[in-house]
Amino acid sequence: MSQRCVKVGLLGLGTVGGGVARMLLEEKQRLSSRLGAELVLERAVDLDPALARDQGIPPERFSTDAGAVLDDPEIDIVVELIGGLEPARSFMLKAINSGKQVATANKMLLAHHGVEIFAAARQHRVGVAFEAAVGGGIPLIRSLREGLAADCIVSCLGILNGTCNYILSRMTSEGAPFQEVLAEAQAKGYAEADPTMDVEGLDTAHKLAIVAALITGAQPDIADIYTEGISAIEPVDIQLAGEFGYRVKLLAILRNLGGKVEARVHPALVPADHVLASIEGPFNALHIHGDWVGDVLLYGQGAGRRPTTSAVMGDVMDLARGIVAGCPDRVPPLGDAGAEGGRLEIAPMDDTACQYYFRCLALDQPGVLATVSRVLADHRISIKSVIQKGRSSSGPVNIVMVTHEAREKAVRAALKEIDQLPVIAEPTRLIRRA
Ligand code: HSE
């Protein structure tokens, strides 16, 4: 009897697509042996033929037309690595509607169109795998979907953007300003030429939307996820937070409140002895708390060609194993066969309760601290600790406070009043505690 052959069609030969092509060609024997079936790169597609030549893809297996993959009934698995919303969305839906299995690293597409894509996958009983969409090479999706399939995930705290973690790590170790570290990161190729998606927290929000969908079986509207990046963080805030015993990290925060979730992305104070405080440089980590498992930490490289290729190829192997076993949709995309795949309700940001760090720039005059404290007290915000930095008869000084737990709505109202006081020189800086 001839051995079963599983045929892969690859859309996109960029950094990760090129890695996937190379692994399929160079490691074919190992992959096929583990699969118990021949795993073949049947066709690769890109607009640039030079990319195919770079990866040693035979010309007869290359096309500039996505139809060469999507319309070929022989192709079992489509790997979508072109990124962006369109035409990636149309290509993926076409592949699913044709009964092909799909692997993708496209977090933006899943965060925006997950409901539609997962519904199509359910209808056509195909597998959709997206390990590389969150946390690069860390097997994070599979851990949540399969390893922790029996747990209720109570909370997740994630460092999910390597660019931001690299920048904050350098700002912490060197006291350098954001713009300087960003420019250096761009020069070294660690940050994109247009860093907006990364530094303004949007990339992290896309990843958090996917994690939220995985732990609830329902998809949030990305617009409901409060998102604040790191571009306004100043070295002085990192240093002062350090004096209170905290590190500043860009966190994806998710708490499962049952029925709805708290989901937000913002710079956060992490206690120096928390495991996430020690995640440095471009690394990613996800700290999970499950009701039975307790605490789990997943850590590794969140970007880069080899780690991300590893994640995509793990998906290809998983889908191929499903095909060989005759059940490629064995595990539902969001791991929950009972969920309807509808919209997930996100708790309003105004309802968030946490501790806060404030840095007020105030004139150094008698009664200023009392005035600021009075406004906070009026809004039922209780101060845990306070320090004043420096002494000046003319210019403003930093008054830094960490509060007990307070509500976002009250904090916003109080800061609005504080910033209107004649003794306050600049808008008060705020960082939430994790
Ligand atoms: N741009 C992302 C990061 C990697 O800096 O972590 C891809 O998700």
Report the percentage of the chain scoring pLDDT > 90.
91
Instruction: Count CA within 13 A, CB hemisphere, residue 159.
Output: 34
Q: What does the pLDDT look like over 373-397, one tens digit per residue?
A: 999 999 999 999 999 877 666 678 9
CA angle 175, 181, 166 (to 5 degrees): 90
Q: Which residues pair with 226 in a beta bridge?
A: 264
Of 161, 168, 192, the one to substitute when testing ligand 1's pocket (max ligand atoms within 8 A of C-beta) is 161
* pLDDT, position 167: 97
* Residue 207 falls in the annotated catalytic set: yes
Q: What does the pLDDT look like over 46-98, one tens digit per residue?
A: 999 999 999 999 999 999 999 999 999 999 999 999 999 999 999 999 999 99
Domains of the chain plus CATH, in order, are: 5-140+305-342 (3.40.50.720), 151-299 (3.30.360.10), 350-433 (3.30.70.260)
Atom of ligand 1 nearest to the CA of 302: 6
162 ligand 1 Cβ < 6 A: yes
Query: CB–CB of 307/301 below 8 Å?
Result: yes
Query: In the chain, what is the straight-line distance between the N-terminal and C-terminal CA atoms, in Å?
Result: 58
How far apart are alpha carbons 207 and 214 in whole angstroms?
Answer: 11
Q: What mean pLDDT is reported for the chain?
A: 95
Q: Where are any strands of DSSP class E within 46-159? A: 62-63, 77-80, 101-104, 128-129, 153-159
Catalytic residue among 94, 100, 107, 207: 207
322 ligand 1 Cβ < 6 A: no
Query: CB–CB of 301/161 below 8 Å?
Result: no
**What mean pLDDT is predicted for residues 334-356?**
91
Atom of ligand 1 nearest to the CA of 308: 7
